[in-house]
Amino acid sequence: MLRQEIAHSETIVVKVGSRILTSQEDVPQSGRMRSLVDSLATLMRSGKRVLLVSSGAIAHGMRAFRLKKRPSTIPVQQACASIGQIRLMNAYDACFTRHRIPIGQVLLTWDDLRDKERYLNLRNTLFTLIDCGAVPIINENDSVGVEEIRFGENDTLAAQISLLVQADLFVNLTDINGLYDADPSMNPNARHIPLVENITAAVHGFASGKAGAMSVGGMATKLRAAEIVTKAGIIALIGDGYHRTLLETLSDPRFGTLFLPNAKKMSSRHRWIAFTGQPGGALVIDDGAARAIVKDGKSLLPAGVRKVSGSFDVGAMVDIQNERKQTVARGLVNYSSEEAQKIAGCKTVDIAQRIGQKTFDEIVHRDNLVVL
């Protein structure tokens, strides 16, 4: 029986790291993979919709090349990913076949998420797989995505997938029992934190960015992923998938750390604006405009804009920053960067005089704006 806070979750995204799928000796751990798949199959039989974000391709490729340490060069990482992804999916296919559940491989880069049309096509693909009774197994396309290998990790990808499918629950499985107030491997007195109501700077301070030899993400990246989804109204759970089963973590409040979401879920459109799309520039606004946007829920008018940076067209996404260059919101602009430069600081009635026409009163309308 699932714990009370997540019992009614219908769509669940589960992320599993390389450490769970590969031992210290770099040997694939078929037992833990089978246990994970058994738990996922049980959830599906109970009516849950399940998506799996899985690391492990590079780790499996390392074994093929007999490498003991994650390679530092991009070409070798890409070669490992190319070989390892086949082995990883074959292993998953064997486990899910025992339950007569088909799987679908989905390999992504940031470009697939940041382009709105591809984002929507991906969403349709994932929902179709789920509706057909299959489990989408998602990973970064490490064999071609240079930037993703250097800087990416599947914690962020899994958070993005949770936003994409409007999940109810995001589960991030690692090799420790959730969040502690100190590193439990270094401090035997570290205190386990079972529940986090709000991810503050103090909570981020508990996390160590250290990652293992097989992985690139640490607790810091897992916290950032949890913060993204909870801001969007999704429950997050960081739990131990190394020593315990997924069902144990979902059922027992002693296991893992549960992160409570914001009370109101964002729409799919607002989630994309806030967390996924690529800003084409920035609008620096005065403190009065910042208060109007953040506290009063107003649109951004030209009078509040102090500076325009970047080059962007109508409809582009921009960061909205206060005078201290802190990003307070993000939105889609009604004017190009060239037009925004000309109307910055002016009254609405003066827009047409500045640029020859007035298509909108607002530079960014409230419906196309998300406070961060």
Give residue-wise pLDDT tens across range 136-169: 999 988 777 655 444 357 999 999 999 999 999 9
State the Cα angle at 180 between 175 and 183, rounded to 5°: 75
Number of other residues whose CB lies within 10 A of the CB of residue 220: 17
pLDDT confidence of residue 210: 52
What DSSP assignment string belongs to 208-261? -----SS-S--HHHHHHHHHHHHHTT-EEEEEESSSS-HHHHHH-TTSSEEEPP
CATH code assigned at 291: 2.30.130.10
DSSP state of 368: G
Contact 231, 167 (CB under 8 A): no
Q: Does 190 share its domain with 311?
A: no
pLDDT confidence of residue 150: 45
Tokens representing 200 are 């503050």
Strand partners, 170: 13, 236
Give residue-wise pLDDT tens across range 202-242: 999 888 655 544 445 589 999 999 999 999 999 999 999 99
Q: Does 46 share its domain with 160?
A: yes
Q: Does 259 share its domain with 309?
A: no
pLDDT confidence of residue 151: 37
Q: Give the highest mean pLDDT range of 14-23, 162-171, 272-281.
A: 162-171
pLDDT confidence of residue 286: 97
pLDDT band per the 50, 70, 90 thresholds, residue 41: very high
> What percentage of residues in the chain have a pLDDT greater than 70?
93
| 268 phi and psi angles, rounded to 5 deg | -60, -40
Q: 256, exposed or middle or buried, with CB in 10 Å at 0-12, 13-18, 19+?
A: buried
Q: Does 110 share its domain with 33?
A: yes
CATH code assigned at 128: 3.40.1160.10
Q: Does 52 share its domain with 179?
A: yes
Contact 39, 247 (CB under 8 A): yes
For strand 195-196 and strand 257-259, is the pairing parallel, antiparallel, or unpaired?
Answer: parallel
pLDDT at 280 over 80: yes
State the Cα angle at 160 between 325 and 145, rounded to 5°: 90
Mean pLDDT of the chain: 90
Contact 109, 145 (CB under 8 A): yes
Strand partners, 320: 283, 329
Cross-sheet strand order for the sheet of 327-332: 305-310, 281-285, 317-321, 327-332, 369-371
Tokens representing 278 are 């690529």
* Number of independent structural domains in the chain: 2
| Range with the poorest average pLDDT among 8-22, 30-44, 202-216 | 202-216
Q: Does 23 share its domain with 47?
A: yes
CA–CA separation, 134 and 120 (whole Å) = 19
Q: Does 181 share its domain with 323?
A: no
pLDDT confidence of residue 149: 41
Q: 356, exposed or middle or buried, with CB in 10 Å at 0-12, 13-18, 19+?
A: exposed
Q: Does 95 share its domain with 29?
A: yes
Q: Does 298 share its domain with 233?
A: no
Q: Does 12 share its domain with 122?
A: yes
Q: Does 262 share its domain with 286?
A: no
pLDDT confidence of residue 18: 85
Q: Which residue has the higher pLDDT, 112 or 99?
A: 99
Out of 270, 290, 309, pick the residue that ends a domain. 270
Q: Does 340 share its domain with 235?
A: no
For strand 11-16 and strand 49-54, is the pairing parallel, antiparallel, or unpaired?
Answer: parallel
Q: What is the average per-residue pLDDT within 350-367?
A: 96
Out of 270, 304, 331, pick the residue that ends a domain. 270
CA–CA separation, 169 and 10 (whole Å) = 8
pLDDT confidence of residue 148: 44
Domain that holds residue 337: 279-371
Contact 293, 300 (CB under 8 A): yes
Tokens 């037992």 locate to 31
CA–CA separation, 106 and 85 (whole Å) = 11
Out of 220, 248, 270, pick the residue that ends a domain. 270
